[in-house]
Amino acid sequence: MNPPSDDPLQYCRFCFSQFRVEPLLSGAQKDQQLINQISSIIQIKLDPDQASVTAICSMCRTQLKEFQLFRERCSHHDSIVREKVEGIQSSNNDMWFAVETLDDNDDSDEESAAMGKSDPLRNVPGAGSEKQTRENFWGAISQDVGVIPEHIQRALELTGFYRNASLGMISPTTIKQIEQDMPEAIEFVISQESKRTEVLRQYYGSVYCKNPAKFKFLAGEVQTILSITATVQENGIAEYLNKACVSQRVHNQTRRDQLYAAEKPDNADVFAEELVAKIKDYYKQHATSDKGFTDFFSRLPGVEGCDVRQTEDGTIFALLHCFYCKKNLKAFRSNRWNAWQISNFVQHCQHHYRIKYKISRRKRIQGGGNAEDATE
């Protein structure tokens, strides 16, 4: 196999592509950094003379950036894990004590699920869902390429070209492969969701949703996909991932603003006293003479650390301030039981003072009709 040209600046040294090729060195201070990346990541060493007559295509340059980002991200996450493991191994102060699970009526799992539906933030736009992240990502790319039909977005997601560098590596041949892979993948989606008509419309579009066997991307849709690829090649996938994250942070701020916009009920102080009393009564039932428990108990939130609010539909909730991590945790007041649910707060406190739960079950006493609690 021979190089595609006698002029090394007319083709990419790393893949022989002659599309979107440019000199490797630009005369900038980052040239040496780029040479070092090539040496460390793909194990090709170039001296200054070789580098000066070397070209690279936009796709390989993007891949090089992605490899570097991947390497840095892995190193960062590995350091976090190592610090965590070493911290656990060196810590001799973790106190464990056994308590019963929350099994009073107002803190039942069934009621917790019901109250979850009353979360005042549940319907706030941009509340940090995967759907919102997806919309942010495609919205960022749409700013550069124009409207991207939904079925194209879903087709690329379904076949693995979503939020990664491969989105910048699609060719006409790849598009044909996507068309071939889609039927089997879509049938799997249908088997999981059982809404066949809606799924076919989402993935095949309005033209082929009623005749998926003949599906293929229209000429304009092919150009849209190639435009997406060219844009990601030019700017790098990281730019659009970052834009999606920025949009997400803006949405999260909106979520927090919505939370604090809820008004205080007239009897907020009474509700706060009830909530604080319930939390402390719960832990008093399992008090020990251990100093660790005493310190933990003294840092439970008081009335001043309990901000009670009421949504427009009448749902009462509170923000409990955690002394340890400085976060505000939500607690809801059950309309059914007229009592506070504290399971969310208790579970969070596991991170600060470990609690080993006993598994409670109910069993019948032989020869009688009463029940008693037993632990396993």
Q: Which helix (H) or strand (E) holds 241?
A: helix 237-261
349 is in an annotated binding site: no
Return the bridge partners of 310, or none. 263, 316
In the chain, the N- to C-terminal Cα span, in Å, equals 71
60 is in an annotated binding site: yes
Question: Are 164 and 175 a contacting pair, CB within 8 Å?
Answer: no
Q: Are 159 and 178 in contact (CB under 8 A)?
A: yes
Compute the distance between CA of residue 270 and CA of residue 179 in angstroms, rounded to an integer. Answer: 63
Beta-carbon contacts of 20 under 8 Å, excluding residues fewer than 6 positions away, are 57, 58, 59, 233, 234
**Positive or negative CA dihedral for 73, 79, 80, 85?**
positive
Q: Cα(12)–Cα(295) distance, rounded to whole angstroms? A: 65
- Binding site annotation covers 209? no
Q: Return the closest-CA partner of residue 33 out of 165, 8, 55, 41.
A: 41
CA–CA distance from 278 to each of 99, 161, 281, 302, 336 (Å)?
16, 51, 5, 11, 17
d(CA 259, CA 19): 51
325 is in an annotated binding site: no
DSSP 28-69: STTHHHHHHHHHHHS-----HHHHHT-EEEHHHHHHHHHHHH
- The CA distance from 11 to 368, in Å, is 89
Give 3-state DSSP helix, strand, coil % of the chain, rounded to 5: 55, 10, 35
The encoded tokens of residue 272 equal 């706060």
Residues of the binding site for Zn(2+): 12, 15, 57, 60
Residues of the binding site: 12, 15, 57, 60
